A = this chain, B = another copy of it.
Amino acid sequence: MFEVAELGNKISSEEYDKEESRLREELLQLQQDLRLAKFPVIVVFAGVDGAGKGETVNRLSSWMDPRWLVTNAYSDPSDEESERPEFWRYWRDLPPKGQIGMFLSAWYSKPVVDHAWGRIGTPEFDEQLARIQGFEKELAADGALIIKFWMHLGKSQQKKRLKKLENDPHQAWRVTDNDWRNWKNYDGFIRTAERTILNTSSGENAWTIVEGEQSRYREITVARHIRDAVRQHLKTWDIEQKVVAEALKKRAEEKQEKDSQIVDPKQVQIVPAPTRTILSTLDMTQQLERPDYKTQLKKQQSRLNRLYREAKARGISSMLVFEGWDAAGKGGAIRRLTAAMDSRDYRVLPFAAPTDEENAHHYLWRFWRHLSRAGKVSIFDRSWYGRVLVERIEGFARNHEWQRAYAEINSFEEQLVEHGIVLMKYWVHITPEEQLERFGEREKIPYKRWKLTDGDWRNRAQWGAYEMAVHEMIERTSTRNAPWTLVEGNNKYFARVKIIESYCKQLEKTLGINANDKDD
């Protein structure tokens, strides 16, 4: 079965670069289409240790929009999990419709390992596979698109790969004693793997076996497959349902309408802030040139990678809050940040309008419910500060509500910090002129156009009111324990590096690491 995946397939670095930029664009566009769709996408990665499951997931995550994508990996069940049936933990992690969930080994892990090591016999193994197949069929019948990759390596390839990882100081942590024990049992593992694939492949939920030796090859192969599968599913599932078809049609019409009566950006009047604010003290001319940026970004990402893994090992969580003007570059900064981390370890949480369950609670409840377990990084793309920004300006919160929010937020953050969580709060700042330019760019690039809404123009008109609100927010909530980091964002390169660097500094402080110890 696996011979097809030991052919030594390779992709040249030129071909890779070309494909990569195209695939990134296509995947981002697909994620937007998917958001209108009424089905979730579930991507499962299983296979041989060292075949690059985790790395592939990380690479894909860095290409896609992390706000509509979650990676789930599983170690031993928590006590709350073991008190429920085995599949409870998977059910609770299923992505909602319109989003993508990546699952590392997940429900395959325990049966495969148990069988490969002879801890369960074949009849019991088959029963467990039947349950898995039932689970996947059920989700597929409900519309879910399930894509399964089996990452393969030959026996000698695996050995080579594990050795190579071990010799790389940045990667060595990936290889455990367990991996070597598994390698010695390679043939048993492959027998189990074959049975797994045979018993859990049905028309809709088939496995794709991917040759894991070359990272370029496996990344492109997996990304292409996901792209094609999502496209196909959008056509067959949702067109049948007529949901996306209509939504896409409507969007096209709106776009046309917009194009025909396009607002002249220069006609949107900005009402400036009545007084000088703290934002006006920022030196907005700071910048980094591209070559310098490339070097510094790499350096800071590598520093971050080391630090966040140390924090994870010590069970220290981080929460990073991103606030800023529309088009200030929050999304891009978040992607540069997550690129330095394993996608199993972070979660990007975008906050727009609350759900009806959230509306039935105190406004902080929706943030409390997303606090992560120990050692994880949570990135809040917009946050509880909405209370004193958009809710204040737009009148969604009444005066006494947003006024008391400062104290409520301080108390909330105090509890986070006291618990040992590293809390970073970024205000990404740009000037109105820079924003205007970026809005113009967005209208030109098709796959960025969805980002620009009428709301953005409306917010822009109220620049001064927002600026006063930001000023007051910083004044009232930049506490010793939870200070704001103001980021000069007119130059994206400068902003991205500043964000990662400041997070690194805070991690070093918390971990008690002297910055001078670093080796790069």
Chain A 403-417 residues near chain B, CB threshold 8 A: 404, 407-408, 411, 415-416
Q: Known: A355-B357, A373-B80. Is A365-B94 also a contact (CB below 8 A)?
A: yes
The answer to whether A22 has its CB under 8 Å from any CB of chain B is no
Chain A, 359-392, contact with B by CB distance < 8 Å: what is the 0/1 string? 0111111001101011000000000000000000
Chain B residues lying within 8 Å of A356, measured Cβ to Cβ, are 355-357
Contact, CB under 8 Å: B138 / A411: yes
Chain B residues lying within 8 Å of A360, measured Cβ to Cβ, are 96-98
The answer to whether A475 has its CB under 8 Å from any CB of chain B is no
Q: Known: A355-B356, A356-B356, A415-B87. Is A92-B369 also a contact (CB below 8 A)?
A: yes
Chain B residues lying within 8 Å of A374, measured Cβ to Cβ, are 83
The answer to whether A418 has its CB under 8 Å from any CB of chain B is yes
Contact, CB under 8 Å: A91 / B363: no
- Taking the nearest CB of chain B, how far is it from the CB of A381, in angstroms? 19
The answer to whether A18 has its CB under 8 Å from any CB of chain B is no
Complex CA distance for A411 and B135, rounded to whole angstroms = 8
The answer to whether A88 has its CB under 8 Å from any CB of chain B is yes
- Taking the nearest CB of chain B, how far is it from the CB of A62, in angstroms? 26
The answer to whether A139 has its CB under 8 Å from any CB of chain B is yes
Contact, CB under 8 Å: A415 / B315: no
- Taking the nearest CB of chain B, how far is it from the CB of A380, in angstroms? 16
Q: Known: A91-B368, A96-B357, A368-B88. Is A363-B83 also a contact (CB below 8 A)?
A: no
Chain B residues lying within 8 Å of A142, measured Cβ to Cβ, are 362-363, 401
Which of B80, B97, B141, B317 contacts A361, CB < 8 Å? B97
The answer to whether A178 has its CB under 8 Å from any CB of chain B is no
- Taking the nearest CB of chain B, how far is it from the CB of A81, in angstroms? 8
The answer to whether A220 has its CB under 8 Å from any CB of chain B is no
Contact, CB under 8 Å: B415 / A86: yes
Chain A 279-323 residues near chain B, CB threshold 8 A: 315, 317
Contact, CB under 8 Å: A88 / B371: yes
Contact, CB under 8 Å: A131 / B411: yes
Chain B residues lying within 8 Å of A138, measured Cβ to Cβ, are 362, 364, 404, 408, 411
- Taking the nearest CB of chain B, how far is it from the CB of A178, in angstroms? 22
The answer to whether A85 has its CB under 8 Å from any CB of chain B is yes
Using CB atoms, name the residue of chain B closest to A135: B411
Which of B362, B400, B416 contacts A144, CB < 8 Å? B362
Chain A 92-110 residues near chain B, CB threshold 8 A: 92, 94, 96-98
The answer to whether A518 has its CB under 8 Å from any CB of chain B is no
Using CB atoms, name the residue of chain B closest to A418: B85
The answer to whether A259 has its CB under 8 Å from any CB of chain B is no
The answer to whether A84 has its CB under 8 Å from any CB of chain B is yes
Using CB atoms, name the residue of chain B closest to A375: B83
Contact, CB under 8 Å: A371 / B84: yes
- Taking the nearest CB of chain B, how far is it from the CB of A103, in angstroms? 15
Which of B79, B86, B88, B139 contacts A80, CB < 8 Å? B79
The answer to whether A119 has its CB under 8 Å from any CB of chain B is no
Chain B residues lying within 8 Å of A96, measured Cβ to Cβ, are 357, 360-361
The answer to whether A188 has its CB under 8 Å from any CB of chain B is no
The answer to whether A260 has its CB under 8 Å from any CB of chain B is no
Complex CA distance for A91 and B355, rounded to whole angstroms = 17
Contact, CB under 8 Å: A369 / B91: yes
Chain A 1-51 residues near chain B, CB threshold 8 A: 40
- Taking the nearest CB of chain B, how far is it from the CB of A130, in angstroms? 10
The answer to whether A419 has its CB under 8 Å from any CB of chain B is yes
Using CB atoms, name the residue of chain B closest to A421: B85
Complex CA distance for A419 and B83, rounded to whole angstroms = 9
Among A91, A135, A400, A421, the most chain B Cβ lie within 10 Å of the Cβ of A91
Contact, CB under 8 Å: A416 / B369: no
Complex CA distance for A84 and B420, rounded to whole angstroms = 9
Q: Known: A88-B371, A371-B85. Is A139-B362 also a contact (CB below 8 A)?
A: yes
Using CB atoms, name the residue of chain B closest to A362: B142
Complex CA distance for A369 and B90, rounded to whole angstroms = 11
Chain B residues lying within 8 Å of A78, measured Cβ to Cβ, are 78-80
Complex CA distance for A462 and B373, rounded to whole angstroms = 49
Chain B residues lying within 8 Å of A373, measured Cβ to Cβ, are 80, 83-84
Chain B residues lying within 8 Å of A317, measured Cβ to Cβ, are 83
Complex CA distance for A415 and B141, rounded to whole angstroms = 19
Contact, CB under 8 Å: A92 / B357: no
Q: Can you list 26 residue pairs at the A/B interface with Cβ under 8 Å? A: A40-B361, A80-B80, A83-B374, A84-B373, A85-B418, A87-B368, A88-B368, A88-B371, A91-B364, A91-B369, A92-B368, A92-B369, A94-B362, A94-B365, A97-B360, A97-B361, A134-B411, A135-B411, A138-B404, A138-B408, A138-B411, A139-B362, A141-B401, A141-B404, A142-B401, A356-B357
Q: A85-B415, A138-B362, A142-B363 are in contact. List 11 more A-B contacts (CB 8 A).
A: A78-B78, A78-B79, A83-B317, A85-B416, A92-B368, A96-B357, A98-B360, A138-B404, A138-B408, A141-B400, A355-B357
